[in-house]
Amino acid sequence: MGISLKPQHLNRYRQISWLLVKYGRSDLAKETGLEETLTAEERVRPREAAKADELAADLEKLGPTFVKLGQLLSTRVELLPRPYLDALARLQDKVEPFGFAEVEKIVTSELGVRTSKAFSDFESKPIASASLGQVHLAHLRDGRPVAVKVQRPDIREQMVEDLDALGEIAEFLDNHTEFGQRYQFTRMLEELRKSLMRELDYRQEAHNLAAFREQLKDFTHIVVPAPIADYSTSRVLTMEYVSGVKITEMSPLTRMDFDGEMLAGELFRAYLNQILVEGFFHADPHPGNVSLTSDHRIALLDLGMVGRIMPRLQEDLLQLLLAISEGHGEDAAQIAIKIGQPRREFDQTEFTRRISEIIGQQKTATVEQMQVGRLVLEVTRCAADCQIRVPPELTMLGKTLLNLDQVGRALAPQFDPNASIRRNAAQILQQRVLKSLSPGNLFSGVLELK
């Protein structure tokens, strides 16, 4: 018994089934009934094992939904071997821009006036292009330079169809296979769906921009573009244009002109504050989303993907990060057990041994090799292997910190994220206490006690 194949999804079924066969899970293609969409030749697994980079390339060919799925899978350390996780973590939106006639049509429809009337000028060639949309440089009538993000035509409809097909498969796996019952793909797909729907609503990103500008106002070397509300809708986002060079494209001469260690330290401190104090953080600070401005500040771009962490989990995450940064493996293991949900098969002795080994390895690592995000993801992977169900917030934290490690290293090769955690721990604890004493939080606490 397989899933009931819907005619409108047959092409996607075939592509997904082909991926399962190619990457060694023909059993799942057979159990779900997706194998029926393949030819006899396609049902035969290639003699040579497919490489990790091939999976990333194959997902890119399937389009934006599958690129986003791959990026999500890169945080699910319990599902895939490390080479595949690394390859998927590098997945980028490599798409051709769509035509300017389509851009004008969308902007006119969304804003209610033609681009020539809303803006004094509007460049036809985009300055950035991704799977969900592209960005054009323009000027408002008052002369202010702005960046206008325009959503790709029909992208929402395409993603809804893809998620529908993937949802059918996930539901069948969860209900009829041990593999699905263990990894709960329906829950993972729902996480992806919510994330994508938020990203597709540019009003949400405008809200994020405003929220992060307020949250980061005391971090003087970090800048977030201001949204222009009157020129923004669910499919068009107009924001202040912040000129700069991507940190991945900085020349050696540029690196000599600024204090990279200071900038990396302030950026790391800002994200620790977002995660462990505010509980609302930018979840996608990969190097491509970070620029250096002409006045040597860090500009954060593309704030569509955010994460939220509840206060009770924040305390545990702070303790986990401290244990990791100080090299205390047994403490890290105990905190991970507290954060997760151990199953009946859980072996605490083996888990503690493995975590101690993982954390202990960093004692001999050079500063350049230290990656706190990688260690968080390794702890998550080990927990899953040892039958602990880990909350998705932990994997999102690991991915966020992994990106920050890369940004920090680009700014200052000798930057030590572990030292930054230890250095800022006392201030974070103090800020958490002050936040917990605010009237709003006290009222929430009273409600919880009732």
Contact 339, 391 (CB under 8 A): yes
Contact 131, 63 (CB under 8 A): yes
Options 284, 302, 331, 405, the catalytic residue = 284
CA 296, CA 254: separation in Å to the nearest integer? Answer: 10
Half-sphere exposure of 349 (CA within 13 A, CB side): 0
Q: What are phi and psi for residue 143, nearest 5 degrees?
A: 95, -10
CA 263, CA 269: separation in Å to the nearest integer? Answer: 10
Strands 388-389 vs 341-342: parallel, antiparallel or unpaired: antiparallel
How far from the centroid of its chain's Cα atoms is residue 410's Cα?
Answer: 19
Q: How far is CA 378 from CA 26, 348, 355, in A?
A: 28, 17, 9
Q: Which residues contact 158 (CB under 8 A, 6 or more apart)?
A: 63, 64, 65
**Tell me, what amino acid is at 298?**
I
How far from the centroid of its chain's Cα atoms is residue 439's Cα?
Answer: 32
Q: Which two tokens stand for residue 134?
A: 């592209």
162 in catalytic set: no
Q: What are phi and psi for residue 334, nearest 5 degrees?
A: -65, -40
Q: What are phi and psi for residue 301, nearest 5 degrees?
A: -120, 160
Q: Which residues are catalytic?
A: 284
